[in-house]
Amino acid sequence: MPIGVFHRVRLHHGHQFCIACLADQPFAKLTWRLAWQLYCPTHRIRLQDGCPHCDTPFAFHRVSLAIDGRIPCHICGYNLAKPAPSLPCRSRAWKLQRTLGRALASEQITVGPFRVSALEYSIGLRILARGITNRTRLSGLIDTMPRNIRMNTCMPSQIPAQPFEYWRLSARELGLEILARVAEDWPEQFVWSCRRSGLYRCRFDGDQGVSCPEWVGYALRQLER
């Protein structure tokens, strides 16, 4: 994920961390930089993408290593390894995160009738994520969710009109939950849901030069006007 370094200041919350992991061993993990990595697979708690006290982006190189068991925030001094209540894992988002992890480990995964590589799967999900938002508000694929899900969903205050990897953790968590739901029974469930909500292929068009994987392209061709 991007961290937006500008004059040695980080503008984006692109480096996540697990409070429990920092308490155990004070070092950063490479997987914390992955946009779909929302939960710690060891402690099964949601990661943090900023200081719990001042919300400053995590900058491990500016954090003093454990001093008397503390890992202070470089801005406010809050102990980043301090035990704190953590939100539980969303079941579908957690399952999709594990699926992506297995895809990276095995290099291939089955999606409906398709056998795709880990890269094709990741690119495909990123393309589908374009259908979640409409400018800066949630509108699109979330409309395909059951009414009780929409009514009980805690909406993030702001969804940026940027690619998935720029979103804050709470927005990405909701996005992964939505993607997990529309990916069930692929591609029938996705096509049916989009048609019901009036979503067409143009909604998912985006980056020029990025090849759409066949497992997603097959479904999107059924949504052409």
pLDDT at 170: 86
Mark whether 155 and 50 lie in a shared domain.
no
Mark whether 49 and 117 lie in a shared domain.
no
Mark whether 211 and 128 lie in a shared domain.
yes
Among residues 88, 104, 132, the one where a domain terminates is 88
Mark whether 155 and 127 lie in a shared domain.
yes
pLDDT at 38: 94
pLDDT at 114: 94
Mark whether 59 and 162 lie in a shared domain.
no
Among residues 63, 88, 113, the one where a domain terminates is 88
Mark whether 125 and 194 lie in a shared domain.
yes
Among residues 88, 103, 124, the one where a domain terminates is 88
pLDDT at 165: 86
Mark whether 124 and 211 lie in a shared domain.
yes
- Are 1 and 15 a contacting pair, CB within 8 Å? yes
Mark whether 101 and 195 lie in a shared domain.
yes
pLDDT at 73: 85
Amino acid at 40: C
pLDDT at 191: 92
| Residue keyed to tokens 């480990």 | 105
pLDDT at 162: 75
pLDDT at 142: 76
Mark whether 42 and 130 lie in a shared domain.
no
d(CA 37, CA 49): 11
pLDDT digits (tens, 9 = 90+) for 63-106: 666 566 678 888 888 888 888 777 778 888 999 999 998 888 88
- Are 184 and 173 a contacting pair, CB within 8 Å? no
- Are 141 and 178 a contacting pair, CB within 8 Å? yes
Q: Please count the structural domains in the chain.
A: 2
Mark whether 102 and 79 lie in a shared domain.
no
Residuewise pLDDT in 10s, the chain (225 residues): 666 666 566 667 888 999 888 888 878 888 998 999 999 999 999 999 988 889 888 877 666 665 666 788 888 888 888 887 777 788 889 999 999 988 888 878 899 999 999 889 999 998 998 888 665 455 678 777 766 655 555 555 555 567 888 888 988 888 898 899 888 899 998 998 888 878 889 888 876 667 899 999 999 999 987
Helix (H) or strand (E) holding 19: helix 19-24
pLDDT at 207: 65
- Domain that residue 164 falls in: 91-223
Mark whether 8 and 69 lie in a shared domain.
yes
Angle at 67 between CA 10 and CA 17, to 5 degrees: 40
- Are 15 and 58 a contacting pair, CB within 8 Å? yes
Mark whether 108 and 84 lie in a shared domain.
no
Would you call 204 helix, strand, or coil by DSSP?
helix
